[in-house]
């Protein structure tokens, strides 16, 4: 049976990953600070700290893969469709014959990658809240789609 202090520390470990919306890399820094200060005193906090960090690292990896897919696709699509007869006409930049017909497959993959990235970020927010609620009730929570980097 976990004490209230252990439950609170584990809950704050989960919630501290929401600091990413206020501080760059707050979703790594603050959970690490809470986890390292309490991991030797409580196995419950140690388990939850590892879960939070593994989840955040997994999301970082997934995001990097999705960005590595989407950005080159959009760059290739844009630059392959810019004709060389783009002109400046009366202080307006006019591009003639701009069409995406040749690259619709690539563009679709890029858009899907961006949508999956957006879904990951929305689900991350709700999973963090859900994990904090479960942890505050004394339950062990394991995030889905998480790679166990820290064991």
Report pLDDT for 111.
87
pLDDT at 91 over 80: no
Q: Is the pLDDT of residue 46 over 60?
A: yes
Whole-number pLDDT of residue 74: 80
Tell me how far apart the alpha carbons of residues 124 and 45 are, in angstroms, rounded to a whole number: 20
What's the number of CA atoms in the CB half-sphere (13 Å) around residue 93?
Answer: 4
Query: pLDDT at position 81, please?
Result: 63
Query: Which residue is listed with tokens 């206020």?
Result: 22
Rounded to whole angstroms, the Cα distance separating 4 from 83 reads 66
pLDDT tier for residue 142 given thresholds of 50, 70 and 90: very high
Sequence-separated (6 or more) residues with CB below 8 Å from residue 2: 10, 42, 44, 138
Q: Write down the pLDDT at residue 117.
A: 92
Q: Mean pLDDT of all residues in the chain?
A: 86
Interval 12-18 mean pLDDT? 93
- Does the pLDDT value for residue 73 go beyond 90? no
Is 87 a residue whose pLDDT tops 70?
no
Considering only CA atoms, give the Rg of the chain: 22
* Contact indicator for 51, 131 with CB cutoff of 8 Å: yes
Q: Say if strands 92-94 and 87-89 run parallel, antiparallel, or are unpaired.
A: antiparallel
- Residues 126-136 have pLDDT tens digits of 999 999 999 99
């Amino acid at each position: 049976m976990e004490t209230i202090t252990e439950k609170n520390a584990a809950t704050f470990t989960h919630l501290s990953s929401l600091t990413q919306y206020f501080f760059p890399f707050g979703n790594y820094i603050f959970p690490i600070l809470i986890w390292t200060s309490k991991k030797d005193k409580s196995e419950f906090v140690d388990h939850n700290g590892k879960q939070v960090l593994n989840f955040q690292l997994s999301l970082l990896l997934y995001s990097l893969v999705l960005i590595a897919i989407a950005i080159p696709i959009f760059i290739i699509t844009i630059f392959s469709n810019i004709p060389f007869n783009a002109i400046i006409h009366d202080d307006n930049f006019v591009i003639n014959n701009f069409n995406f017909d040749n690259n619709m497959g690539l563009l679709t993959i890029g858009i899907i990658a961006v949508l999956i990235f957006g879904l990951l970020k929305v689900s991350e927010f709700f999973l963090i809240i859900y994990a904090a609620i479960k942890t505050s009730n004394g339950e062990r929570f394991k995030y889905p789609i998480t790679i166990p980097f820290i064991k």
